[in-house]
Amino acid sequence: MTDTHAAQTTAFAPDPERASDEPALIVDVEGFEGPLDLLLRLAREQKVDLAKISILALADQYLAFIEEARRLRLELAADYLVMAAWLAYLKSRLLLPEPPGAIGESAADLANALALRLKRLEAIRTAAKRLTERPQLGRDVFERGEPEPINEIKRPQWSATLYDLLTAYANERQKHALARVRLTSRKVWSLAEARATLERLLQMATDWTAIDQYLIAYVVEPSMRSSVLASSLAATLEMAREGQLEIHQDAAFAPVYVRRRSEPGSGGATS
């Protein structure tokens, strides 16, 4: 509850004979906010203006209070005891004549400084009191009870450059331009289809003809090209084996030429 409630003791240590289990009676000092507060309280009891207070009398009262507290074995915080020591010193200075040629502050200066400290604490207390007497928010004055919040609309600002766009497009097309060959090759032109087509085509062509030409004329979808080529080549080989047509190729990977075999059984394949 107070700052001063510290269980320290110093030079004014309690009677060592005191039983350790004897409770410390600290109730009386708990009401004070430190030695200055105690001094202020005592000063007020003198019922005089702080400016006219007798520091000597005040010191006596303070020391008497401390003596009483010690007699009652009250446990006093160090702050009180330090002040007691200082007041005892001040009192002795005030009672003795100032030694001639003394250096440092006179006893009167010290007493004045103490009086000033008391006045200052008193003043700050008055200020604190006046501060708390002001209208306080939530106690005396109130903010809007039902504020209407600002609606924050987060408007996304999309950042994409033309370069991003074109790069994305090119990457995408390039990737799938290759992938598509694989993908669509699954959509095969079956051997049966190839053979039926070839048979129809060969009705029309009696001379050597590049197989591609037939097929390109027939298959417009360029992605089907490899499937068409593969199937038709297989069909061609099959038909050649059956003796229905002849195949001719000048070199590896060169165009494959076929023609209807005029005389069944005499055909051969060059490859």
Partner 1 sequence: MSSLAEELTHTEEEVVADARPEELRLLEALLFAAGEPLDEKTLAARLPSGTDVRAALRRLQTEYAPRGVNLVRVGNKWTFRTANDLAWLLTHEAIQPKKLSRAALETLAIVAYHQPVTRAEIEEIRGVTAAKGTLDVLLEVGWIRPRGRRKAPGRPITYATNEAFLSHFGLETLLDLPGLDELKGAGLFDGTLPAGFSVPAPSDDPALREDEDPLEEGDLDIGLAPRPTLED
Among 52, 71, 130, 186, the residue binding partner 1 under the rule CB under 8 A is 130
Could you tell me if residue 266 is left (phi over 0), alpha (psi between -120 and 50 degrees) or otherwise beta?
A: alpha
**Please, what is the minimum distance in Å from the beta carbon of residue 89 to partner 1?**
16
Among 116, 192, 196, 234, the residue binding partner 1 under the rule CB under 8 A is 116
Q: Six-digit token pair at 64?
A: 């008497």
Among 16, 20, 96, 151, the residue binding partner 1 under the rule CB under 8 A is 151
- Contact status: 186 vs partner 1 (CB under 8 A): no
81 within 8 A of 13, measured Cβ to Cβ: no
- Contact status: 98 vs partner 1 (CB under 8 A): no
**Rounded to whole angstroms, how far apart are CA atoms 231 and 218?**
14
196 within 8 A of 203, measured Cβ to Cβ: no
Q: Pattern of binders to partner 1 over 230-269, x per CB under 8 A?
A: ----------------------------------------
- Of residues 32 through 61, those in contact with partner 1 by CB under 8 A are 33-37
Q: Pattern of binders to partner 1 over 189-218, x per CB under 8 A?
A: ------------------------------
Measured over the CA atoms of residue 92, residue 97, residue 103 and residue 105, the dihedral's sign is positive
Task: Choose one: 61-69, 156-164, 197-205, 244-252; the region binding partner 1 (CB under 8 A).
Answer: 156-164
Measured over the CA atoms of residue 98, residue 104, residue 106 and residue 111, the dihedral's sign is negative
Q: How far is CA 96 from the centre of its chain?
A: 68
If you write DSSP's letter for every residue of 116-137 in order, what string do you get? HHHHHHHHHHHHHHHHHHS--B
Q: Six-digit token pair at 118?
A: 């008391």
- Contact status: 159 vs partner 1 (CB under 8 A): yes
Whichever of 148 and 207 has its CB closer to partner 1, that residue is 148
Task: Choose one: 15-23, 87-95, 135-143, 206-214; the region binding partner 1 (CB under 8 A).
Answer: 135-143
- Contact status: 3 vs partner 1 (CB under 8 A): yes
Among 48, 178, 192, 254, the residue binding partner 1 under the rule CB under 8 A is 178
Q: Six-digit token pair at 214?
A: 């037939």
Among 22, 45, 67, 164, the residue binding partner 1 under the rule CB under 8 A is 164
247 within 8 A of 270, measured Cβ to Cβ: yes
